[in-house]
Each structure stands twice: as C-alpha cells, then as structure tokens.
Chains A and B, each alone.
Chain A
Amino acid sequence: DTEVTQTPKHLVMGMTNKKSLKCEQHMGHRAMYWYKQKAKKPPELMFVYSYEKLSINESVPSRFSPECPNSSLLNLHLHALQPEDSALYLCASSQGGRAYEQYFGPGTRLTVT
C-alpha cells in the first residue's frame, strides 16, 4: 500500500481563521514532507520531518506551523494567512534519504479570502 491521505480536500478560510491540514501514512516511512504548489508551478518544499522531528524549515512564515504527533501523522496549522497563501498543499512521505522516492497525497486545495 503506497497511500498517503490528506484531509480536507478543499478548504476556504478567512484571513483571521485558524485551521489545520492533516496527513496520514501507514507505510512505516521515516520522513514526511509538506509542499506548497501554485498553479502551473512545481511543488515547493516547506518542511521536512525525520523520525518525528523537524529537520528542514525552508524559511516558511510563522503563520504556517507544522506538527508531527507520531510517525504516521503530520499536521499543518494555519493562522492569519494571506490571500497569496492560496495554493495546493501536498503532503508526502518516504523511507528516508535521497535514494527513495516520495509518495504524495492528493493534496488540500486552500483558498484564503
């Protein structure tokens, strides 16, 4: 099973709202990722978790707050977002280092109004 699930599929939120995106994998992968993808662009890496610890933060604004409660779950907490944060947010997981492919979830399409 190479499935990564994400909820919700779609999210519309105001600039003052607080919401969370959820991601889950049951492949026993050690690394989990959050990406942001704007239309007609490749995904941009936001965060990398390795063994449930944050290992990479690609200078993401603090209004995005990741959390890894356990090895299967990854959350992205959103607060005070801007309209330019509207995008497709993708979660991925992998067995480990660069030799391994990343498996992506279906994404959450976020609209900030």
Chain B
Amino acid sequence: AQKVTQAQTEISVVEKEDVTLDCVYETRDTTYYLFWYKQPPSGELVFLIRRNSFDEQNEISGRYSWNFQKSTSSFNFTITASQVVDSAVYFCALSEEVGETSGSRLTFGEGTQLTVNP
C-alpha cells in the first residue's frame, strides 16, 4: 500500500521568510509519480508540480522549488521569500493506476497549513 506523510500540520512564518514543507512517501513501485497541490481558503486544489521517479533533477519555478531525493523517499517543497498569498494548505500526493483503464488514485498526505503573516 502507498503512503504519504506530511509531518508538519501547521507552519506559521513572517512574510519574506523562506519555508520548507516536508513530504515523505512509501511505495513498492519502481516507477511512480509525485505531486504537490495548493488549496487556498477558496477550496480549489491547484496543481503545482508533478515529479516522476526516474528524474531526480530538482526543479525551480519562480519562488517555488522542489527537492526530490529517492534515497530518503522525500519530495520537499520550498517557498522562498514567502508572501501572504502563499497562505494555504499544501498537499503532497502519490498516484497509482486504477486497473487497466485510464484514471488514477491519488494518495494524499494529511496536508500542511501554511500561514504567512504580514
């Protein structure tokens, strides 16, 4: 069975601080896919990034960066120079195929509530 652990339930920072959200996963698959989603108070889950298991390059997108380490089964997310608009719940997720048809099942972590204070 797959599992995603986000040990940080809540994080509070002051604007312009850097913050890292941790994600640790468990899977028996040799090929797998990891995702990060952002859920602001409005409720919609916003897709941020997808990472496959055979590409260990870290990725940067503006103030966001992701550190994928297969050796420690971790896929951490760093926000540099945080802003109030970054306040949201962030979910890390691992996907698995559902049978032979298309579609997938996402195993989510419990989420990390990030609050950025002005």
Contact = CB atoms under 8 A, between A and B. Distances in A.
Interface of A: 2, 30-31, 33, 40-43, 45, 48-51, 53, 55-56, 88, 90, 92, 94-107, 109
Given A42-B91, A98-B33, A99-B52, A48 B105 contact: yes
Contacts, number: 87
A99 B51 CA distance: 9
Nearest to B43: A107
Interface string B81-104: 000000000010001111101111
B91 A99 contact: no
Interface of B: 32-33, 35, 37, 42-47, 50, 52, 91, 95-99, 101-106, 108-111
Pick the most buried of B44, B95, B103: most chain A CB atoms within 10 A of its CB. Answer: B103
A50 B45 CA distance: 21
A33 B103 contact: yes
